[in-house]
Structure 1
Amino acid sequence: MESGRTVQLFLIRHGLTQWNAERKYLGHSDIPVNSRSLDDYFPLKNVLHQYGTLKVYSSDLLRCRETAAFLFPSQQVTYDARLRELHFGEWEGRTYEELKHCSIYSSWLDNWESTGPPGGETGISFQERVSSFLEELLEGELDTAAIVTHGGVIRQIASSFLNTPDFWHISAPFGKAVIINAEEREEGWTCISLSEEPIAGKEHM
């Protein structure tokens, strides 16, 4: 069968925040990256520079805006609230240790897609808004784009191309880009390669 259009997406997680370091749930709370966390993104910045000008999209939350500004200082960035992390509601800023004895929390861990944290967002709602962004992106004529976003969004986008329900086992590291090359086929978009940059131990001039 003749292959169709291909796209290359660079999925980039925002720099580390204090809540990330403290393993607190961080969804829509708008806090900045740690003051020196973006230093870890210099190797990635060098990699991205090799690809020239990219169309750049970003979550509208501060930690992503700061990361996008660091990586793409001279490029226009399109901010989109659909690229926000899952909204954890009343559990924002709290840890697993603080919540593990709560029955509602335990139920949510087992059924995160169909249920949501108090005052938060269900997994299905999260998946639908991320899918809305991705479908709109793929309907255009872009062949390459960078997306600065959150760990959950990276996992959702990657899992949609991989056609796998194994959401939680998809890597979304700090300081790297998850690179997806996908092809449009009769059955839909399919991942033809998935990699991370920069590669550990690889030097970039």
Structure 2
Amino acid sequence: MSKTIRYYRHSETEWNKQGRLQGWLDSPLTQHGVLLAKQIMWKPDVVYCSDLQRAVATANYMFPNDTIHQRAELREIYLGNWQGQWIEQLQHDSHYQCYQETPQYFRAQSQESFSTVTKRMLHVHEQLLASTYENIAVVSHGVALACLFCALRNDSIENLWGYMLTSAAYEAYDWINQ
């Protein structure tokens, strides 16, 4: 049986637009984000999403006639004391610089580690592969999805940022299992 899991990042939020980190905090979708999410034209058998409201809202706009199954394991990386902070102000923080520039050397302090995010995302992915559904939509978050994609490609975490999806309507990552 062929199986397609289409992974999407949530659509643009107010804080994305303003340059603020969200982590497990939420901000509403922008009008542009709503329009982007509504452009998705795909009919999956089942839809899963993070339980954070920006992902739930995106999933509801993308798949308005489907039941949305929320999973906490699909959440974004927990960013601890960086959550809600302006990215511009964090550029002078050496710990944040390490997170951004050399993720392979990043050691979480108040944040969640990349390896923890990767493990929970891989766990969900394995469950989806084992499910009976053939076409699965998943709405999650930028760093969480980058951790998953990096692991699925057996790539080094130092290449993490190359796997970032920008927004739901622009791109999706398809995992096709045959």
TM range (shorter): 0.7 to 0.9
Give the structure 2 partner of residue 182 of structure 1.
176
Q: What is the distance in 2 between the residues matched to 1:107 and 1:88?
A: 14
> Are 1:125 and 2:116 counterparts?
yes
RMSD: 2.2
In the superposition, relative to structure 1, how do residues 143 and 156 fare at CA in structure 2: closer, same or farther (>3 Å)? farther
The answer to whether the 8 Å contact 2:9/2:165 transfers is: yes
Q: Which has the higher helix share?
A: 2
State the TM-score, normalized to the length of structure 2. Answer: 0.85
What percent identity do the matched residue pairs reach? 24
Alignment of 1:37-116 (within 5 A): 37-44=33-40, 47-48=41-42, 52-109=43-100, 110-111=102-103, 115-116=107-108
Aligned length: 174
Ranked by relative contact order (alpha carbons within 8 Å, sequence separation 6 or more), the top structure is 2
More strand by share: 1
Distance in 2, Cα, partners of 1:67 & 1:86: 18
CA distance in structure 2 between the aligned counterparts of 1:106 and 1:172, rounded to whole angstroms: 20
Q: Distance in 2 between matches of 1:171 and 1:123?
A: 14
Separation (CA, whole Å) in 2 of partners of 1:102 and 1:43: 38
For 1:103 and 1:58, how far apart are their aligned partners in 2? 33
The residue aligned with 1:23 is 19
Structure 2 residue 144 is the aligned partner of structure 1 residue 150: no
The two structures have a TM-score, normalised by structure 1, of 0.75
Structure 1: gaps spanning 5 or more residues: 185-205
In structure 2, the CA distance between the partners of 1:136 and 1:180, relative to structure 1 (3 Å rule), is: same
